[in-house]
Amino acid sequence: MKAAAVVSVLSGNLSKNRYIWAGFLFAVCNWFAESALHVWVFHEGPFRAQVFTTDTHEIWMRLVAGVMFVFFGISTQGAFNIRQRTERALATSERKYRTLIEEALNPVFLFGSSGRFIDVNLAAVEFFQRDREQLLSKRYQDLSVFLGGTASDQAPFTPILGQSEVDFRINGGTKTMLLNVVPLPMPDDESEYFYGIGQDITERKRMELNLGLAHEELNQIFQTASTGMRLIDKDFNVLKVNETFVQLSGVPRETSVGAKCYDIFTGDRCHTDQCPMKRILEKPQDIEYEIRDQTKIDGAEFACLLTARPFSDQDGETIGIVESFKDITELSRTRQELRTERDKLRHILFQQFEGVSILRADHSIEYQNATLTEQLGDCTGLPCYQAFKGVTKACSPCYMHRAIKTGQLQRCEFEVADGRTFEHTYTPFSDTGSEEKVVVYLRDITDVKASRAAAIRSEQLAGVGELAAGVAHEINNPINGIINYAQMLVNQHGVPSEAHDLGSRIVGEGNRVARIVASLLSFARRGSEIKVPTSIEEILSESLTLVGTQIRKDSITLEVEVPKDLPPVLCVPQEIQQVFMNILNNARYALNQRSPGCEGEKRLEIQASTRGRNGDCVVQISFRDSGDGISPEIVDKIVNPFFSTKPKGEGTGLGLSISQDIVRSHGGDLKIESLPGQFTTVSIDLPAVVS
């Protein structure tokens, strides 16, 4: 073990001092070489003697040469050791700096004069999002957006030295690097190298861009706002104004910015404790009030709604206020006009000769004019049904609720205790706050209703007269023949005889029938105006009984479709019968005008059915004739009083007008549809009595 250790030490020392041992070896070799030279060249004796017993001079010469060889070995070994230590230090330093560069968070790369990457660290690999091998096969200018790969592999390439922002193409996108490029001198190499140290600022650039866009957007909003705006610091200095404020105040932007706020736009709260700036600095809050001022251009007065809000820094400390000025000059003028119009409306309502009231949805009377007060007394706050009709519960149907529900005007009639008749007109509207209300006009139609009844009477007489003419045509001739024949029997037989007695009786009864027929011409019976549930089929049957003979006489084909289960309607039967009679006579007249006598095909179709209307059930009766029809120019006028398409003397022009009034008084509708030369349809809707 000791021998092995000695050998190891010697071998170690030999490895570390090999140049010294080489000097000793060269010295020994030189001793033997000199001895051999003296023996073989100069023949100065045996080799042994030259090695061990040479003269003193030769010994000194050999010792000097040996010492020189040893000294040269020592010097060479020292230089070699220094070089080894330097190389080891350089290798250690290289490993240290290589580790530092490789582990650096910023991209670091080396590229040559052609731009090709020579070495890159891990951060550069991550930035360019390529493998190290892929990146080392690329050129700096191939990835640069600005350069775009303009240089070839052979052409020398010199990048922008120093610090700059460079955009690189990365997987279809763009990333930005803050890059510092420095030349890397290589004294032993003619090639030029460049060392790049970068920082990924893509997110920072994106944030800067977004921040710039946001700032530009906010500035654009500020400048294009429809309200005038200005920014004021704590010292009352105007920092910024928008274009609307310039137009509103008439003060140029250059004059406004930097001036005191109270010098540019003066309000009645300036220099007082109510100054918005003072109040907001004391306690952050929103302040809104109305101010008036005059423009600096023409001195015109205008009104503004000023809103002041605190303006804070990044720490939330109030450093000023933002004021907005909304021009409400037109709004103020409109308010004044509305107040004026309201006063006018009040005067108009109070001066109306008709009663006017406003009803809430809960039936209470909110307002009534002087005329209604004179008619019914002070009814403000009372339910409409109590004030108008003297009842304790709401009417059914309620026309006020129907007007609110449908949004359409509603009309109805009712009688008060003293016998007067009023027409109600309900007009819905939305009050402030979107509250649904109704304006009610109450018109005393007692005299009008009496006049209408007289007109109905006249129309009845005209209808009865026309009916009597038809009856006379059918009965008078046979009755006259009977009377004549009976009179001949009386004349032929004397008294007393049975033939004379029978003939006299026949003459008497015939004259009685003739008198009855004649009385039809002057007969008119006024029916009761009490509405009772009545079958439409019965009213229509009675009407057709009266005019059926004339319809058959005119060769008119009549088709009637009335369901047996049709619900009754609440009506005055005589009035509805008068409406039917008028429509039937008009249809017969139109058919005869188109086809006189028995010529042509004359058809009259009558149908009845039920349908819904505004949530209620109504019975609809339609009369469709194949007559001449009505031209569109006058179809809306034929229901007007005294408007008639018949020749003068053949019509009064009141038939359809009275019929429409009758239908409306029953809560129904009368509609006319016509196509000239083809047909006319008259439809009547009457509320059904649903059990």
Helices (H), 266-381: 276-282, 329-351, 370-376
Distance CA 87, CA 83 (A): 6
Distance CA 56, CA 263 (A): 122
Q: Is the pLDDT of residue 120 over 80?
A: yes
Query: Is residue 572 within 8 Å of 529, Cβ to Cβ?
Result: yes
Query: Is residue 664 within 8 Å of 411, Cβ to Cβ?
Result: yes
What backbone phi and psi angles, to 5 degrees, belong to 149?
70, 40
Q: How many residues does the chain have?
A: 691
Q: For 110-207, which CATH superfamily applies?
A: PAS domain (3.30.450.20)
Distance CA 222, CA 218 (A): 6
Distance CA 398, CA 503 (A): 66
CATH code for the domain defined by 225-333: 3.30.450.20
Q: Is the pLDDT of residue 601 over 70?
A: yes
Which residue, 426, 448, 446, is CA-closest to 357?
A: 426
Question: For residue 464, what are the CA distances in angstroms to 472, 521, 543, 583?
Answer: 12, 7, 12, 14
Distance CA 632, CA 402 (A): 31
Which residue, 628, 656, 633, is CA-closest to 644?
A: 656
Across all residues in the chain, what is the average pLDDT? 78
Q: Is the pLDDT of residue 523 over 80?
A: no
Share of the chain above pLDDT 70, in %: 80
Q: DSSP readout, 659-690?
A: HHHHHHHTT-EEEEEEETTTEEEEEEEEEB--
**Amino acid at position 388, single letter:** F
**pLDDT for res 429:** 84
The pTM for the full model equals 0.35
How many CB atoms lie under 10 A from the CB of residue 70?
18
Distance CA 24, CA 67 (A): 8
Distance CA 69, CA 29 (A): 10
How many CB atoms lie under 10 A from the CB of residue 231?
18
Cα within 13 Å of Cα(185), Cβ side: 1
Q: How confident is the model at residue 619 (pLDDT cuts 50, 70, 90)?
A: very high
Distance CA 34, CA 29 (A): 8
**pLDDT for res 521:** 45
Say if strands 602-613 and 556-561 run parallel, antiparallel, or are unpaired: parallel
**pLDDT for res 10:** 41
Place of tokens 């105007």: 238
Q: How confident is the model at residue 145 (pLDDT cuts 50, 70, 90)?
A: confident
Lowest-confidence range among 294-308, 436-450, 545-559, 561-575? 294-308
**pLDDT for res 187:** 58
Distance CA 42, CA 55 (A): 15
How many CB atoms lie under 10 A from the CB of residue 570?
14
Domain 352-444 has what CATH class? alpha beta
Q: Which three-class secondary structure state does DSSP give residue 330?
A: helix
Sequence spans of domains, the chain = 2-97, 110-207, 225-333, 352-444, 449-520, 532-687
**pLDDT for res 8:** 46
Distance CA 311, CA 215 (A): 16
Q: How confident is the model at residue 255 (pLDDT cuts 50, 70, 90)?
A: confident
Q: DSSP readout, 393-406?
A: S--SS-HHHHHHHH
Distance CA 640, CA 549 (A): 30
**pLDDT for res 520:** 47
Q: DSSP readout, 368-387?
A: E-HHHHHHH---TTSBHHHH
Within this chain, domains 110-207 and 225-333 share the same CATH topology: yes
Lowest-confidence range among 70-79, 206-215, 516-525? 516-525
**pLDDT for res 143:** 84
Is the backbone peptide bond immediately before 676 cis, with ω within 30 degrees of 0? no
Q: Is the pLDDT of residue 74 over 70?
A: yes
CATH code for the domain defined by 532-687: 3.30.565.10
Distance CA 467, CA 535 (A): 23
**pLDDT for res 519:** 45
The per-residue pLDDT for range 310-343, each reduced to its tens digit, is 988 878 888 888 988 888 877 777 777 777 776 6
Share of the chain above pLDDT 90, in %: 4
Answer left, alpha or beta for residue 100, where phi above 0 means left and psi between -120 and 50 means alpha. Answer: alpha
CA angle at residue 669 from 668 to 672, to 5 degrees? 155
